[in-house]
Structure 1
Amino acid sequence: MKRTASARLEFDVAGPAEFVLSVAASALYEQRAEEALVVTQDGAPVAVRELVDQHGTRLHLCDVGAGRVLVDYRVVVEGRLAPPPVDELDLVRSRRPSRYCESDTLAPTARAEFGGLTGRDLLAAVSSWVGSHLAYVPGASAPTDGAVQTLLDRRGVCRDYAHLVIALLRALDVPARLVSVYAPGLSPMDFHAVAEAFVDDEWHVVDATTLAPRSTLLRIATGRDASDTAFLTSHGAAVTVASMQVGAVADELPRDDVTAFVSLG
């Protein structure tokens, strides 16, 4: 499978700031046929340095000043990556409550709704339940909303769906984490977020929004929740998003059976 992804982001910066960008395809993809990341400020190039975390997430750091900052990224990935190695420490972290995934608070709900289910049946049931209990409403949630607030509001966007899925699975002792992705077939096009659950000795994608085929998703960042996977973290002066264009296409868009296991590759 050949996938092409791109992002063009413009920011207005009030003063000196450090950017931590998370827009590049995961380091786990070795077959990156083409790739370029360019950061400029008011037309002048900005030096970028790369860090890679334990999940293969590539973070790009740069220092900027007051003015308009433009981030341009494009990648072409051919083929699929092999399942990443299983990290026992990651499995421990992925069962714990986190900032946006309050699995301890939602444990009674999880046991009442999904008690007795395991494996494929559990993932399908949680995905269906979250998809039927939430309405996808852009702009309906606040950046600080977690899974509990999402369930109370019964609406949100992709990260909210993923947080609720993760919290419910962790409440049942299933390791679960969040992945930011490029999503061919997504409409309207944007960065996308899905859950990943560790079942039968492998990580499998759970996307309760059902907005894009899971087999085409291109991994960007992996973490406990959205606090680990934001496309931009800034330190210093105030930063405002002026414009954002995201693109993702694949040479095929297969149908997605939500009851089937799909690994993110």
Structure 2
Amino acid sequence: MGVLAGREWPRPAGGDDRGRVVTCDLAFDVQEPADIAVQIAPAERGGRMHAERLELAIDGAPLAPPVELAAPHGGRIHLLRVPRGLFAASYRADLDSPRPRPGPHPTGVAGDEPLDLQRLTYLRPSRYCPSDHVVGLAVAEFGALPQGRPRVDAVVDWIHHRIGYVAGASTVHDTAEDTLLTGQGVCRDFAHLGVTLCRALGIPARFTAVYAPGLTPMDFHAVFEAWTDGAWHVHDPTRRVPRDGLVRIATGRDAADTAFAAVLGGIATLRSVEVTATVTGLLPADDHRAEAVLA
């Protein structure tokens, strides 16, 4: 699934018609030549790819294709070297449904790090998820519940009912502690808080950036996954979209690992970002207490 100006794969006969189309358009004002890393392509496990196109331009002139790096859990990072000017990146992918499914998730998938190392990594505090600071709260609120899935379900319910979804209520510097103090945030804050409380309870949890058909207004979306009953189950405390339509982009400890764009060197300012995610047919209603595993 390499990166190219344009590439297509034939659809298999009799395949799943419940496809997904995702797009992202970015624009940067580049004041000094910059190195930019973007994570906007679906993860390798995000569904069978039928076509993808990545077009890069500076002041309207085409740029050479970027370098693609493999990130954890099938993620794809594209490294761009951009000269001064107005930089534009336009991405589109057409893929089959990467539908979450109930039941155990396969372990030992080729290319994954060992699961015991995953669990260790996602138990530790991280930049936006200072789980060691909220152990007292987590134990007081959820410690009386049976371990594992009952605690995760209670965490998701607690966040959904206690935290208000308010557009623009937080900044890129806010951690889960800020969300607890203000009682409001957006999807990344809800996901960070879910990760933080789960880790404080001894449950491995990780942050996942996704495309989300059905989201209004349309944007990138964030959910979290918790390790229970031998699987990474996906949870969305915002309950704003059906998990059935989610397309994995990037997975990590928190938003620092999954940012859609990061300026690594030089000077560049994000001017605009537009995201779309559509699905063929109707998205079903989601019972958010049901088990689901994201592809």
**1:48-67 equivalent positions in 2, closer than 5 A:** 48-67=66-85
Give the conservation status (yes or no) of the 8 Å contact 2:148–2:203.
Answer: no
136-145 vs 155-164, which moves further = 136-145
C-alpha RMSD over aligned residues:
1.5
1:158 aligned residue (178, 183, 187):
187
**2:131 matches 1:113:** no
**2:288 matches 1:264:** no
Aligned to 2:154: 125
Instruction: Provide the identity percentage.
Output: 45
Letter aligned with residue 230 of structure 2: D
**2:30 matches 1:13:** yes
Could you give the per-residue CA deviations for residues 202-257 of structure 1, whole angstroms, max 9, x where no partner exists? Answer: 11111111111112100000000000000001122332222211000112311111
Aligned to 1:143: 172
Q: Secondary structure at the match of 1:13?
A: strand
Give the conservation status (yes or no) of the 8 Å contact 1:27–1:52.
Answer: no
Instruction: Provide the rounded CA distance (Å) in 1 between the counterparts of 2:149 and 2:19.
Output: 28
Aligned to 1:43: 60
Aligned to 2:204: 175
Instruction: Provide the rounded CA distance (Å) in 2 between the counterparts of 1:114 and 1:239.
Output: 44
Give the conservation status (yes or no) of the 8 Å contact 1:32–1:76.
Answer: yes
TM-score by length of 1: 0.96
Aligned to 1:22: 39
Give the conservation status (yes or no) of the 8 Å contact 1:17–1:65.
Answer: yes
What is the deviation of 1:136?
1.1
**2:111 matches 1:93:** no
What is the deviation of 1:85?
3.6
Letter aligned with residue 58 of structure 1: R
Letter aligned with residue 76 of structure 2: R
**2:31 matches 1:3:** no
Q: Secondary structure at the match of 2:55?
A: strand
Instruction: State the aligned residue count.
Output: 265
Letter aligned with residue 83 of structure 2: G
Give the conservation status (yes or no) of the 8 Å contact 1:119–1:199.
Answer: yes
Instruction: Provide the rounded CA distance (Å) in 2 between the counterparts of 1:207 and 1:104.
Output: 22
Instruction: Name the larger-Rg structure.
Output: 2
TM-score by length of 2: 0.86
Q: Secondary structure at the match of 1:91?
A: helix
Q: Secondary structure at the match of 1:237?
A: strand
Instruction: Provide the rounded CA distance (Å) in 2 between the counterparts of 1:3 and 1:255.
Output: 17
Structure 2 unaligned spans of 5+: 1-17, 109-114
Structure 1 unaligned spans of 5+: none
Could you give the per-residue CA deviations for residues 91-143 of structure 1, whole angstroms, max 9, x where no partner exists? Answer: 11000110100111011111111112333322221111011111111211121
248-257 vs 113-122, which moves further = 113-122
Aligned to 2:270: 241
Give the conservation status (yes or no) of the 8 Å contact 1:215–1:263.
Answer: no
Instruction: Provide the rounded CA distance (Å) in 2 between the counterparts of 1:257 and 1:193.
Output: 18
What is the deviation of 1:80?
2.9
Aligned to 2:132: 104
